[in-house]
Structure 1
Amino acid sequence: MANTLTRRKGTVLGVPIVVALFFLGMMMPTSVGVSLGGLRLSVYRMVLLVMFVPMLVMLFSGRYGKPHLFDALALGHAGLALVALVNWGGLQQGIESGGIYIVEFAGSYLLGRLYIRSYQDFRALAQAYVMIVVGMLAFTIPEALTSVHILHDGIAGATGGAPAPFIEQRMGLERTFGPFDHPILYGVFSAAAFSLAYFVLAEKRLTNWGGMAKVIGVATATFLSASGGPYVVLMMQMFVAGWERVFGRIAGRWRMLFALFGVIYLCIDLFSNRTPFHVFVTYFTFSTVSAYNRILLFEYGTAEVARHPLLGIGLGDWVRPVWMSDSMDNFWLLIAMRYGLPAWALLVGLMLGLIYAVGRRKGLPPEWKRARHAWAFTLFGITVAAATVHLWNALFVLFLFLIGSGAWLYDAKVEPSKGIGRPVPLPRRTPRLRPPPQRLF
């Protein structure tokens, strides 16, 4: 199947050219791009800008699946964000900031929603994505050992950009940037490929040596980032993958898992002198200093949300002690703080609602079920980690693209003629050979 995927017309590594350009843009440092009237146009932004209107036409044409509730949630969130930014900065500044947010948010979602429309498309995406992550190890392993940021500084130097900033080592290794602007970006980009490698390429078979080698490669790339956020993304995926492997034959295994999470939450809340959020942040960060800072961010951030619940504060400053940084290492809290609780609810509804709707589909072929696990577990890992890190630049558009890339599982039809989910034909009966009639004369 892999050979047929890579030979399709209009594709690179089996994925549509526009998706390949989008991924190439995500892996470029911010120095690669142009400034237009004070607006920074990175490579992936230019791809989304060019394709935004054509993708809207494609969406409402109905040729790529009829528009549905989750498309409305995505566009609704982007529209509310625009209103919040206009409320903050006035019409001109709000439209400038809100316009690029709409392009990044809705454009990334639509790119995955419209260009990944079948199991073949999804497998090609998984194959290309994992290949990129594993291929970068040829540069990031030497980077971790020599402290020379080969990809980032090489690309930035060729475009006149700044070299990678100094970041202290961890575990005796240089924290690797890859081609990204920060080790967290590289780590989350790598960790997000784990479930794709395990469920789609290795097909959950530990004896699939080629597929499992890719799984190990993805885990190695994540480790080299030496960042807590990517480690959480990886561990959460490994946990739910292990749960599915052990309890895969039990129908209520996911209700059991949610009940387990609820019991753990209640036990921490009852028997600890700290809130469950405090405990989570403390044990999923590398240092007590960063854990304490995230706790303070949560306290002051939620207070800001309480003061501005409907439209948020836009890109304005938020109330905090003068010695605290303005960096908000909590993606979910930042969305609520900037754009208000209604916009936050639409984003959460988009992701959780789509996962729930896809999970309720019955009668899917085994390949589709593995793809569903890969997609949902990837989003689960990123979602949990996003409570301790901010998804910015490449991470933000990657997250929205991945949400959209699973929408085909919601409305795509299983067509036997395509070879995926094709029923096995029953063997034809061999007709009995009757002896020729005997002549009497």
Structure 2
Amino acid sequence: MMLPTAVSLNLGGLRLSACRLVLLALFLPMLFQLLTNQRGRLHLFDALVLVHCFWALLALIKWGGLVQGIESGGIYVVECAGAYLVGRLYIRSCEDFVAMARVYVGLVLATLVFTVPEALTGIHFLHDSLASAFGGPKAAYIEPRMGIERTFGPFDHPILYGVFSASAFSLAYFVLAERQLGKFGNFSKVAGVGMATFMSASGGPYVVLMVQMFVCAWERILGAVQGRWAALFTLFAIAYLAIDLLSNRTPFHVFVEYLTFSKQSAYNRILVFEYGSAEVARHPLFGIGLGDWVRPVWMSDSIDNFWLVTAVRYGLPAFFLQVGLVLGIVWAVGQRQGFPPAWRRARHAWAFTLFGICVAAATVHLWNALFVLFFFLIGTGAWMLDASPTRSRTLRRTPAFLHAIRPVRLF
């Protein structure tokens, strides 16, 4: 995920990035493991991912015909279901989740070695050096913000780097720091993630970070109060109604205007939503595929709203399947009882990360590496649906030499 798009192979009309090549190699073996229950029982949320991908494939076939639809839809299936399956099948215990979090946060912190000088000099060290090595284009010029250059890191746009970094915040706070910021090592990990996010100078990543910080503070202050999450969403609903009643604008307009850097950007996002939702109303079942959408001639074809892009391209069924997957799996994991403290921290980190990305996805589009990251992160929490804390503690008491000779890890 951390390699620029230029690091890719072009076969016919297909661009195979490093990430796509890995997912292509793993896809069929992972699908076989899933369907044969080799790594946890098959459940509803696996089906939602597969049906969502199938519907998107149908929409693309309807748009471009059988050959073009299978070519474009096949890549979508590999990136969406493939990324989900990597997290779903290979993160099968709390220990696996902690190891993933350690690597993820470590990668974000390592990029600071390059992105801090990048923000000060405007030289895109990682992106341009990797792209040049593979004959790809250098990073496009983007105007500075807040007195710093917007950093790309190894990604294709500052938003991608920012969301990648911001998504590690809850993992750093709950899993690595274990909610204790008194030690320098713990604080530096959390602060480092915040600094990496800041270097992107992008509104979407800041939303991901702020939403996570808010819910982390809510959990820290009201951690012992029953019904605190129901109370939080009740407050959100009340705030939504209050804005709707007291403002001459819709809550969506207010949300977009205050969470973007400029009025021009906010106005453009509002227009995108209005014309995009009108396109969904005209093509509710299968969307318009990768076709062009109706808009004024002076508007860009970019839709800075991940949820809207799904509905416009693949229709409302694909949109509802996607939303149902995220909300359903988080709700199902949240209903499980008897988790030990380490598991509860992992659950908070996972759910808060997804919550932050989902809110920000209303103002940014998730594409390339960021799209893969989102579905990978959804899959990394699936182990909490059926893993047993009692069995996990039993396995940890098994002598170390038995773990060393066991050919297959049991869960």
Same fold (TM over 0.5): yes
Q: Which residue of 2 aligns with 1:19?
A: none
Deviation at 1:208, TM superposition (A): 3.4
Aligned to 1:358: 333
**Equivalent residue for 1:329, pick from 304, 307, 310:** 304
1: CA distance, partners of 2:298 / 2:46: 42
Rounded to whole Å, the distance in 1 between the matches of 2:264 and 2:34 is 47
2:395, 2:233 → 1: CA distance?
Answer: 32
CA distance in 1, matches of 2:200, 2:309: 24
Q: Does 1:404 align with 2:363?
A: no
Instruction: Give the aligned partner of residue 9 of structure 2.
Output: 34
Q: 2:225 aligns with which of 250, 257, 260?
A: 250
1:266 partner letter = L
Kindly indicate whether the alpha-carbon contact (under 8 Å) linking 1:365 and 1:421 is maintained by their aligned counterparts in 2.
Answer: no
SS at match of 1:390: coil
Please show how residues 27-66 of structure 1 align to structure 2 within 5 Å.
Answer: 27-66=2-41
Instruction: State the TM-score, normalized to the length of structure 1.
Output: 0.89
State the shift of 1:411 in Å: 1.1
Aligned to 1:374: 349
What is the aligned residue count?
397
Q: Among all aligned residue pairs of Structure 1 and Structure 2, give the percentage whose two residues are the same amino acid.
A: 69
Give me the whole-angstrom Cα distance separating, in 2, the residues matched to 1:60 and 1:208: 45
Structure 2: runs of 5 or more not aligned: 398-411
Alignment of 1:345 with 2:320, yes or no, is yes
CA distance in 1, matches of 2:253, 2:77: 33
Q: TM-score, normalised by structure 2?
A: 0.95
Q: CA deviation at 1:416?
A: 4.5
Correspondence for 1:239:
214
- Flag structure 1 segments of 5+ consecutive residues without an equivalent: 1-25, 423-441
How far apart are the structure 1 equivalents of 2:390 and 2:39? 15
Question: What SS class does the counterpart of residue 415 from structure 1 fall into?
Answer: helix
The CA distance in 2 between the partners of 1:30 and 1:416, in whole Å, is 42
- Equivalents in 2 of 1:180, 1:280: separation in Å? 27
- CA distance in 2 between counterparts of 1:313 and 1:164 reads 30
1:277 paired with 2:252, answer yes
- Residue 80 (structure 1) aligned to one of 43, 55, 73: 55
**SS at structure 1 position matched to 2:389:** coil
Task: Report the alpha carbon displacement of residue 420 of structure 1 after superposing the two structures with TM.
Answer: 8.2
Provide the residue aligned with 1:320 in structure 2.
295
Shift of 1:407: 0.3
Which residue among 162, 183, 197 is the counterpart of 1:222? 197
Give the alignment of 1:409-420 within 5 angstroms: 409-416=384-391, 418=393
Structure 2 equivalent of residue 176 of structure 1: 151
Distance 2:391 2:287 in 1: 49
C-alpha RMSD of the superposition: 1.1
State whether structure 2 residue 260 is matched by structure 1 residue 260: no
What is the alpha-carbon distance in structure 2 between the residues aligned to residue 160 and residue 112 of structure 1?
A: 32
- After superposition, the C-alpha distances for 1:71-98 in whole angstroms (9 at most, x for unaligned) are 0000000000000111111111111111
The answer as to whether partners of 1:414 and 1:421 remain within 8 angstroms in 2 is no
Superposed CA deviations along residues 149-174 of structure 1, whole A, max 9, x for unmatched, are 11011111111111111000001101
- After the TM superposition, list the runs of 4 or more consecutive aligned residues in structure 1 that deviate by more than 3 angstroms: 415-422
Check if 1:147 corresponds to 2:147. no
Match of 2:80 in 1: 105
Contact (CA 8 Å) 1:144, 1:173: kept in 2 or not? yes
Letter in 1 for 2:52: H
| Counterpart-to-counterpart distance in 1, 2:113 and 2:395 | 35
Classify 1:172/1:87 alpha carbon distance in 2 versus 1 (closer, same or farther; 3 Å).
same
Distance 1:29 1:256 in 2: 42
Say yes or no: does 1:134 pair with 2:109.
yes
Q: Secondary structure at the match of 1:40?
A: strand
Letter in 2 for 1:80: W
The structure whose RCO (Cα within 8 Å, separation 6+) is larger is: 2
- Work out which of the residue numbers 64, 73, 96 in structure 2 matches 1:89: 64
Residue deviations 1:181-230 (CA, integer Å, cap 9, x gap) = 10000000000000000000010112233122100000000000000000
The SS at the match of 1:241 is helix
Structure 1 residue 418: Cα displacement: 4.0
Is contact 1:415-1:421 (8 Å) kept?
no
Partner residue, 2:405:
none
Q: Return closer, same or farther for 1:417/1:73 CA change in 2, 3 Å cut-off.
A: closer
Q: Does structure 2 conserve the Cα–Cα contact (< 8 Å) formed by 1:375 and 1:402? A: yes
1:211 and 2:186 correspond:
yes
Instruction: Give the distance between the partners of 2:67 and 2:224, measured in 1 at CA.
Output: 56
Give a deviation string over 1:344-397, Cα, whole Å, max 9, x none.
Answer: 111111110000000000000000000000000000000000000000000000
